[in-house]
């Protein structure tokens, strides 16, 4: 075993000192920092977290020690999963190692202060976010420990959780869906991890019905990405990598719905239900408008001038694309009503929010994106936020009637 690997394992063993040494664990980390140049960034990142904790306590902000412990496991022992396995299999094993080692250490640190359900949830979240950051980051020795600790810290407040078995079932369900998308060539390994994180959080904070709306978007988006693919590919406007979508596409379309679901779980209130429906309808309407509209035989017109333009140009719209947008938005509204998530107003919220959000996406594409002020992912994010705003405004109007 190489010297650097031994040093990283020694850093991982520091997690065992945390319940007793606390911030003073930074001292042996300083020794490893001096002795092994290859692991200096990792040692420094963990030491920084340990030093931050007492510094933040002065301002009455608590960075939980168990968050640091799980992040240490996620950045030292868990990456061993990638030594002999591909990215997807390695990510699943990475998750299992993080939970298997992080759970007992976090339980020892909390000394009964955290329920088993909360420790399991935070360990799963740490493993998923750690595996994701490990693969997408070029500076993983910093981003994995620091990023994982920040994600766990973000969800360390008090909120109701289901029992252990249900949390595990939700995580397995999310992974199975993601693996299915990977095998169907609809998502890459990074998108699988992203969708698993989103699925876990949306179900826990909103419920299974909330995720069904997002799942409908994922399934329809994946299916229609391959619709008319040969023609789109010939025109040079097809989705890259054979239609496989990456984590940027997942987060840009799902981040706003995720925030709405978390806000609903924490604060309650129908306004977040309406906003969630509007944002998902926008994502679905926009995806169908793009994937189906690009196969139109008629030339698209720029949304700002109504002049003809070339296929695939940002801001271009077609009658077929507009019809697809309306249909995609309506599907989400019907699902929201049919599943009992909302009354018959769900149809109007989904249809109007999605259709307006999709056209706002086209407007942003014709202006901000063409000038290089927003990327495609940025446009999707802003458009789904606009769809959420439309949904929220509809809720407000109903309260005034």
What DSSP string runs through 30-69?
Answer: HHHHHH-GGGHHHHHHHHHHHHHHHHHHTTT----HHHHH
Question: Is the pLDDT reported for residue 334 higher than 60?
Answer: yes
pLDDT in tens, 141-194: 999 999 999 999 999 988 989 999 999 999 999 999 999 988 888 888 899 999
Q: Which has more confidence, 20 or 311?
A: 20
- Measure the CA–CA gap between 226 and 242, rounded to whole angstroms: 8
* Mean pLDDT within 23-48: 93
Model confidence band, residue 281 (pLDDT cutoffs 50, 70, 90): very high
Residue 230, pLDDT score: 60
- Measure the CA–CA gap between 22 and 225, rounded to whole angstroms: 51
- Measure the CA–CA gap between 353 and 326, rounded to whole angstroms: 10
Question: Six-digit token pair at 18?
Answer: 């945390």
Concatenating the DSSP letter of every residue in 272-317 gives HHHHHHHHHHHHHHHHHHHHHHTT-SSPPEETTT--B--TT-TTEE
Residue whose tokens read 């412990």: 69
Residue 192, pLDDT score: 93
Q: Where are the domains of the chain?
A: 1-158, 182-401
Cα torsion 240, 246, 252, 254: sign: positive
pLDDT in tens, 204-227: 999 999 999 999 999 998 888 766
- Give CA 198 to chain center in angstroms: 5
Among 4-13, 51-60, 307-316, the least confident range: 307-316
Cα torsion 289, 290, 293, 295: sign: negative
Residue 236, pLDDT score: 57
């Amino acid at each position: 075993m190489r010297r650097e690997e031994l040093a990283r394992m020694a850093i991982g063993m520091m997690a065992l000192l945390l319940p007793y040494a606390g911030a003073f664990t930074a001292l042996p980390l300083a020794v490893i920092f001096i002795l092994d140049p290859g692991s200096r960034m990792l040692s420094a990142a963990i030491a920084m977290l340990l030093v931050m904790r007492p510094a933040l306590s002065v301002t009455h902000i608590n960075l939980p020690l168990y968050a640091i412990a799980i992040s240490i496991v996620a950045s030292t022992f868990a990456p061993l999963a990638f030594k002999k396995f591909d990215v997807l299999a390695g990510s699943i094993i990475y998750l299992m190692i993080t939970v298997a080692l992080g759970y007992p250490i976090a339980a020892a640190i909390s000394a009964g202060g955290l329920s088993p359900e909360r420790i399991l949830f935070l360990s799963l979240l740490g493993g998923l976010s750690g595996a994701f950051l490990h693969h997408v980051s070029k500076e993983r020795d910093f981003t994995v420990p620091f990023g994982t600790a920040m994600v766990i810290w973000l969800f360390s407040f008090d909120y109701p959780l289901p029992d252990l078995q249900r949390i595990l079932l939700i995580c397995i369900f999310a992974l199975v869906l993601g693996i299915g998308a990977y095998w169907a060539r609809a998502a890459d390994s990074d998108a699988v991890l992203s969708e698993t994180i989103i699925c876990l959080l949306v179900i826990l904070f909103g419920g299974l019905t909330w995720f069904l709306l997002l799942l409908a978007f994922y399934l329809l988006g994946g299916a229609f990405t391959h619709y008319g693919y040969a023609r789109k590919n010939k025109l040079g406007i097809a989705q890259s990598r054979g239609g496989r979508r990456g984590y940027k596409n997942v987060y840009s379309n799902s981040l706003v719905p995720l925030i709405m679901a978390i806000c609903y779980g924490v604060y309650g209130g129908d306004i977040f239900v309406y906003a969630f429906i509007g944002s998902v309808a926008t994502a679905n309407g926009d995806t169908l408008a793009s994937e189906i509209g690009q196969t139109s035989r008629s030339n698209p017109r720029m949304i700002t001038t109504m002049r003809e333009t070339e296929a695939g140009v940002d801001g271009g719209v077609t009658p077929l694309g507009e019809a697809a947008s309306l249909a995609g938005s309506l599907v989400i509204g019907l699902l929201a009503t049919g599943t009992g998530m909302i009354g018959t107003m769900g149809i109007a919220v989904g249809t109007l929010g999605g259709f307006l959000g999709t056209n706002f996406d086209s407007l942003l594409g014709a202006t901000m994106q063409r000038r290089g002020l927003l990327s495609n992912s940025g446009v999707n994010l802003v458009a789904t936020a606009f769809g959420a705003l439309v949904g929220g405004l509809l809720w407000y109007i109903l309260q005034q009637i």
